[in-house]
Amino acid sequence: MEHRNPGCNLDLQWLKKAIVNLAAVNRQAKKLIDSRSLNDEYEAAWLLKAVTCIDLTTLAGDDTHSNISRLCLKAARPLPDDLLNYLGFEYIADCPIHNAAVCVYPSKVKSAVGTLTKLGLKDKINVASVATGFPCGQTPLRTRLEEIKFAVNDGANEIDIVIDRSLVLTGQWQTLYDEIKQMRDACGEAHLKAILAAGELVNLSNVYRASLVAMMAGADFIKTSTGKESINATIPIGIVMSRAIADYYYKTNFKVGLKPAGGIRTSKDAINWLIMVKEILGNEWLTPKLFRFGASGLLGDIEYRLYQIVTGKTALAYEFSMS
Enzyme catalytic residues: 160, 223, 259
The secondary structure element, H or E, covering residue 319 is: none
* Mode of pairing for the β-strands spanning 101-104 and 191-195: unpaired
Q: Which amino acid is at 307?
A: Y
Phi–psi pair at 194, nearest 5 degrees: -95, 115
Q: Which amino acid is at 200?
A: E
β-strand partners of 193: 160, 221
Q: Please, are residues 281 and 248 in contact by the beta-carbon 8 Å criterion?
A: no
Asked whether 64 and 285 are in contact (CB, 8 A), the reply is: no
Between the two ends of the chain, the Cα-to-Cα distance in Å is 32
Tell me how far CA of residue 17 lies from CA of 22, 205, 315, 323, in angstroms. Answer: 16, 10, 52, 49
**Residue 193 in contact with residue 160, Cβ under 8 Å?**
yes
Closest among 270, 261, 259, 260 to 299, alpha carbons compared: 270
Cβ 137 vs Cβ 183: under 8 Å: no
3-state secondary structure of 63: coil
Residue 319, CA distances (Å) to 40, 54, 307, 315, 322 in order: 21, 20, 11, 7, 9
